[in-house]
Structure 1
Amino acid sequence: MDAAANENEVRLRKGTSLNERLVLASLAVVLCLIALPGLAHLATGHWLGIAALFALLFGCLLLGAALLDRNVVWIITSGEILIGEQRPFGKLHRRLIRDDEISGMRLRKSVGKSAEFSLVFETESGDLLTSPPLPDITQVHQTTVRIARLLRLPDPEPIENPLDAANAGIRLGKPVNRHKVRGLKILIVLLAGLPSVHFIYALWSGKMSALVIAVWSLGAIVAFVLLRYLHRINACWIVHDGAIRIERLSWNGATEVETIGGDDIDAIDVESGGRKHSLYAIAIRPRTGKKIRSPPLAGKDQTRAVQAEIIRRLGLKRSAAG
Structure 2
Amino acid sequence: MDAVANENEVRLRKGTTLNERLVLAGIAVVLCLIALPGLAHLANDQWLGVAALFALLFGCLLLVAALFDRNVVWIITPGEILIGEQRPFGKVHRKSIGDRDISGMRLRKSIGKSVEFTLVVETLSGDTLTSPPLPDVTQVQRTTLQVARLLQLPAPAWIENPLDAANARIRLGKPVGSRRVRAYRALVALLACSLSLPFIYALWSGKLSALGIADWSLGAIMAFVLIRYLRRTSAFWIVHDGAIRFERLSLIGTTETDTVGGDDVEHIDVESGGRRGSHYVIAIRLRTGKKIRSPVLVGKDQTRAVKAEIVRRLGLTPLDGG
TM range (shorter): over 0.9
Structure-2 change in CA distance of 1:224 and 1:86 (3 Å): closer
Tell whether the 8 Å contact from 1:181 to 1:234 is kept in structure 2 after alignment. Answer: no
* CA-CA distance at 1:249 after TM superposition: 2.2
Structure-2 change in CA distance of 1:152 and 1:181 (3 Å): same
* C-alpha distance in structure 1 between counterparts of 2:200 and 2:6, whole Å: 72
1:90 maps onto 2:90 in alignment: yes
| 2:163 corresponding residue in structure 1 | 163
Describe how 1:237-316 pairs up with structure 2 within 5 A.
Answer: 237-316=237-316
Tell whether the 8 Å contact from 1:284 to 1:293 is kept in structure 2 after alignment. Answer: yes
Tell whether the 8 Å contact from 1:117 to 1:140 is kept in structure 2 after alignment. Answer: yes
Tell whether the 8 Å contact from 1:173 to 1:235 is kept in structure 2 after alignment. Answer: yes
Which amino acid letter does the alignment assign opposite residue 44 of structure 1? N
Tell whether the 8 Å contact from 2:80 to 2:96 is kept in structure 1 after alignment. Answer: yes
* C-alpha distance in structure 1 between counterparts of 2:168 and 2:256, whole Å: 21
Structure-2 change in CA distance of 1:52 and 1:295 (3 Å): same
Structure-2 change in CA distance of 1:201 and 1:50 (3 Å): farther
* C-alpha distance in structure 2 between counterparts of 1:65 and 1:89, whole Å: 14
Describe how 1:73-112 pairs up with structure 2 within 5 A.
Answer: 73-112=73-112
Describe how 1:84-233 pairs up with structure 2 within 5 A.
Answer: 84-184=84-184, 186-187=186-187, 190=190, 209-227=209-227, 230-233=230-233
* CA-CA distance at 1:167 after TM superposition: 0.2
Unaligned runs of 5+ in 1: none
* CA-CA distance at 1:277 after TM superposition: 1.6
* C-alpha distance in structure 1 between counterparts of 2:255 and 2:184, whole Å: 17
Which amino acid letter does the alignment assign opposite residue 245 of structure 2? R
Unaligned runs of 5+ in 2: none
What is the TM-score with the length of structure 1 in the denominator?
0.93
Q: Deviations over 1:158-189 (max 9, x none)?
A: 11100000000111111113423543554566
Structure-2 change in CA distance of 1:48 and 1:81 (3 Å): same
Which amino acid letter does the alignment assign opposite residue 269 of structure 1? D
* CA-CA distance at 1:206 after TM superposition: 7.7
Tell whether the 8 Å contact from 1:109 to 1:159 is kept in structure 2 after alignment. Answer: yes
Secondary structure of 1:149 counterpart: helix
Secondary structure of 2:236 counterpart: strand
Secondary structure of 1:318 counterpart: coil
Which amino acid letter does the alignment assign opposite residue 263 of structure 2? D
* C-alpha distance in structure 2 between counterparts of 1:24 and 1:137, whole Å: 27
Secondary structure of 2:108 counterpart: strand
* C-alpha distance in structure 2 between counterparts of 1:103 and 1:243, whole Å: 43
* C-alpha distance in structure 1 between counterparts of 2:195 and 2:48, whole Å: 38
Tell whether the 8 Å contact from 1:25 to 1:62 is kept in structure 2 after alignment. Answer: yes
Which amino acid letter does the alignment assign opposite residue 242 of structure 1? G
* C-alpha distance in structure 1 between counterparts of 2:286 and 2:250, whole Å: 21
Structure-2 change in CA distance of 1:228 and 1:132 (3 Å): closer
Tell whether the 8 Å contact from 1:282 to 1:307 is kept in structure 2 after alignment. Answer: yes
* C-alpha distance in structure 2 between counterparts of 1:282 and 1:21, whole Å: 29
Structure-2 change in CA distance of 1:215 and 1:166 (3 Å): same
Structure-2 change in CA distance of 1:42 and 1:202 (3 Å): farther
Which amino acid letter does the alignment assign opposite residue 43 of structure 1? A
Tell whether the 8 Å contact from 2:5 to 2:11 is kept in structure 1 after alignment. Answer: no
* CA-CA distance at 1:198 after TM superposition: 7.0
* C-alpha distance in structure 1 between counterparts of 2:44 and 2:188, whole Å: 47
Give the total of aligned pairs.
322
* CA-CA distance at 1:154 after TM superposition: 0.3
| 2:39 corresponding residue in structure 1 | 39
* C-alpha distance in structure 1 between counterparts of 2:284 and 2:55, whole Å: 42
Tell whether the 8 Å contact from 2:185 to 2:252 is kept in structure 1 after alignment. Answer: no
* CA-CA distance at 1:117 after TM superposition: 0.3
* CA-CA distance at 1:227 after TM superposition: 3.5
CA-based RMSD of the aligned residues comes to: 2.2
* CA-CA distance at 1:270 after TM superposition: 1.0
Secondary structure of 1:3 counterpart: coil
Tell whether the 8 Å contact from 1:181 to 1:230 is kept in structure 2 after alignment. Answer: no
Which amino acid letter does the alignment assign opposite residue 138 of structure 2? T
